[in-house]
A and B are shown apart, each in its own frame.
Chain A
Amino acid sequence: QITLKESGPTLVKPTQTLTLTCSFSGFSLTTNGVGVAWIRQPPGKALEWLALLYWNGEATYSPSLKTRLTVTEDTSTKQVVLSMTNMDPVDTATYYCAHRGDPDAFDFWGQGTVVTVSS
């Protein structure tokens, strides 16, 4: 059974760096084809893909946010960490992590974590 859960601060100040953790179970990030993605959703708005970390350690980022994002894996704890620099109020959103499987789709999602950017 695949599960994912996001954790991190609920409130960050403008210009700060946001660090979110995705804890997962039921799969290995070393399995060929597997990935963990980060996706966000501002209140009342559409989903926005942010980044994907592949099983081979490669990462791909949204072109519009590429300079602000870093995704890494802590293999010992089965966690994927998203860092987003220079946070702004427009980054206020629910942040999700999701499993990317063989059908090249996000087939399992975490419950999401709400992040508010405000001074």
Chain B
Amino acid sequence: AQKITQTQPGMFVQEKEAVTLDCTYDTSDPSYGLFWYKQPSSGEMIFLIYQGSYDQQNATEGRYSLNFQKARKSANLVISASQLGDSAMYFCAMREGWNTGNQFYFGTGTSLTVIP
């Protein structure tokens, strides 16, 4: 079974509108972390936001928020007030457990295009 599933290969959003990128995960470990990364065409992976499995509040970082629904095992990224510079690939990732060596599992990504 896939550890991270992103079902939207491509998304379009009008500039200044909000957009939600979907992510579901699969783990039996009660301790895990969820991450979102942005990858522009340059290739570098840029960290956006983090949510720990025991965090009570949904994480927010500026225009990014993570809609964490633990029972549904979903961790959707919400981008508010989209900008042209938000056009990029977006990857959801999970790390099980707290061991430094535990690997990160990545989804296949969603390509977001912001339309002027």
Task: Note whether A and B form a binding pair.
Answer: no
Seen from chain B, the residues whose Cβ lies within 8 Å of a Cβ on chain A are none
